[in-house]
Amino acid sequence: MFDTAMDVPPVNGPMTTTRFSVRVGERTLSADVHIPSMPAPDTPPLLALHGISRRASVMAKAFASHCEAKGQVLITPRFSRKQWPHFQRIGSYRPDRSLLAILALVEQMGVANTNKVDLFGYSGGAQLAHRFAMLYPQRVASLHIAAAGWYCLPDFTQPFPMGLAPAEKPLKMNVPALAHNQLRNYLELKLRVYIGAEDQHRDDALRKGHAIDNVQGRHRLARARHYCRAFRAAAEARGITPNLSLTELPNCLHSFADCAKAGLTKLVCEA
């Protein structure tokens, strides 16, 4: 693994930005770390994961003013298309290990305490965010997942990757068993789910199929609602009162920019 850090132009206002790169195995991951003018040392950094369009800089700009106001360090990784065609999955690819390495490097460089982060993901980034949190719940202060195309349910009737029952095909990495051991800690997390109220289209990027449509719903809005029900049921079955909310953003389609305009980034930072 080689790690680097270099200054890059700031995204917005008084924040300063440094780009960190880590190499884990054969893949490199870069992340821009945006430091507010007056960092609040007790505030966990916000780790924001882009979707499949990989517009990390757009996400950084949308969060910048809120993070600056809060004194919150903002970390925006960018998974390259070439090296990370399926960055949202944990298994054959290990985006989790690269994210951990980024967090370790940010801490080692003295930028922020990354023991815990507020973890946000949009669309494909939301898929990665909740899967990461299922494996490392202790690293997550609060989990914010917006407009995920589909979810890994805390449900042992559904085979992995849709649920936590054993996968139908042998896995190189037994993610469902690992997540199973962390499930209680995961269900105790503060979870905020966001979805555009108009995100009801079956676009090309949406995963479709008989099984997923029947279980999770035919579009992202239905799937977000289903996930919240499943999360609540799994928590309550274990005697946990879930710290969970679902926010449906009015007039929003499947667009991060629209959701941000409708207050998504402010909601995340003020949660």
Sign of CA dihedral 51, 52, 58, 64: positive
Give least dist CB 178 to another protein, A: 5
Q: Quick one: which of 138, 157, 245, 251 contacts another protein (CB under 8 A)? A: 138
139 is a site residue for another protein (CB under 8 A): yes
Q: Tokens 């499949």 map to which residue? A: 52
- Taking alpha carbons only, the member of 46, 42, 51 closest to residue 33 is 46
Task: Tell me, by CB under 8 A, how many residues bind another protein.
Answer: 23
x/- binding map, residues 64-93, to another protein, per CB under 8 A? Answer: --------------------------x---
Q: Quick one: which of 5, 58, 165, 178 contacts another protein (CB under 8 A)? A: 178
113 is a site residue for another protein (CB under 8 A): no
Tell me the window of 8-16, 101-109, 218-226, 235-243 that interacts with another protein (CB under 8 A). Answer: 101-109
Tell me the window of 81-89, 95-103, 122-130, 211-219 that interacts with another protein (CB under 8 A). Answer: 95-103
- Taking alpha carbons only, the member of 112, 117, 115, 104 closest to residue 143 is 117
- Taking alpha carbons only, the member of 36, 5, 37 closest to residue 19 is 5
Instruction: Give the H/E segment covering residue 61.
Output: helix 56-70
Q: Quick one: which of 6, 40, 173, 211 contacts another protein (CB under 8 A)? A: 173
246 is a site residue for another protein (CB under 8 A): no
115 is a site residue for another protein (CB under 8 A): yes
CA 106 from centroid of its chain's CA atoms: 18
- The rounded distance, in Å, linking the Cα atoms of 19 and 28 is 13
Q: Which amino acid is at 213?
A: D
Q: Which residues inside 194-233 make contact with another protein, applying CB under 8 A?
A: none
3-state secondary structure (DSSP) of residue 155 = coil
3-state secondary structure (DSSP) of residue 131 = helix
Q: Which amino acid is at 222?
A: A
Tell me the window of 31-39, 172-180, 238-246, 259-267 that interacts with another protein (CB under 8 A). Answer: 172-180
Applying CB under 8 A, the residues found at the interface with another protein are 90, 96-97, 100-101, 103-104, 114-115, 135-139, 173, 175, 177-178, 181-182, 184-185, 188
